[in-house]
Structure 1
Amino acid sequence: MTQHPPPGPGFGPPPPQYAPTPPPHTPQPPYAQAPQPPYAQPPYAQAPPQPAAAGPDFLAVDKRNAVVVDASGVAFETSGLTVEFRWPEIRGVHYRASPDGKALMVAVVHLDGRFYECVVEARPRTRLQEWFPQLAWVLGHYRPMG
């Protein structure tokens, strides 16, 4: 049987002289404690769905992307990934036609200045002209000017 040398520094527990010692004035909790509450969910974890208050909503959808504006805020879905922005965290919402006139471009400006955009193809092209007044009305309901 081959004998291996003891592990080098960095392996195993630290020597006792390096173990942290508690401050003398702090009482140590007993080992048998009540169960700790579970860790809080990270901020990116999805919150359980909340019923939105009654109000108008807007939906533009194509094969890959979608834009939803409702009482809770603005949501973008792009290739199966959804990002939701609640009204209190939104600085502004902008929209326009794409340069070729075939899609709706919607942008959300976050309070911290970050900018998010979603592009939804309008098929038929006339649908774009239907979306503009609907989107303007819904945004005006939730974010009145002035």
Structure 2
Amino acid sequence: MAVDRHNSIVVDASGVAFEDHGLSIDFSWPEIRSVHYRPHTNGRALVMGVVHVDGRFYECVADAKRQDRLQEWCAQLLAVLQYYRPMG
């Protein structure tokens, strides 16, 4: 889970959920073609994108405020995504 004052990104057994300034959207794993994430160019925020099976793209940004927290989020995301979406 990556959360800031306005936004949140949650990845769990159900799928991926975004909340952006009070608006939310949930994606179940069968609805997701792919998930992408990266540090924002400012080095303090997490950017996550979901490509829906119908080709639509959704993105959410959560501000980590500190670079060490961003690194922690990215490390955790890698493990969680590998668990729920193993390649191969």
| Superposition TM-score, scaled by structure 2 size | 0.97
Is there any run of 5+ residues in structure 1 with no aligned partner, and where? 1-58
Provide the identity percentage. 62
Instruction: Please state if 1:62 is matched with 2:7.
Output: no
Cα distance, 1:124 vs structure 2: 2.1
Cα distance, 1:129 vs structure 2: 0.7
Cα distance, 1:65 vs structure 2: 0.3
Q: Which has the higher strand share?
A: 2
What residue in structure 1 maps to residue 43 of structure 2? 101
Q: 2: distance between equivalents of 1:90 and 1:123?
A: 28
What residue in structure 1 maps to residue 74 of structure 2? 132
Q: Deviations over 1:57-116 (max 9, x none)?
A: xx0000000000011000000001110000000000000001111100000000011000
| RMSD (Å), alpha carbons | 0.7
SS in 2 for 1:118: strand
**Highest RCO, 1 vs 2 (Cα 8 Å, sep ≥ 6):** 2
Q: 1: distance between equivalents of 2:24 and 2:41?
A: 25
Count of residue pairs brought into register by the alignment: 88
* AA in 1 matched with 2:62: V
Instruction: Please state if 1:85 is matched with 2:27.
Output: yes
| Superposition TM-score, scaled by structure 1 size | 0.59
Cα distance, 1:123 vs structure 2: 1.9
Report runs of 4+ in structure 1 exceeding 2 Å deviation.
none
What residue in structure 2 maps to residue 12 of structure 1? none
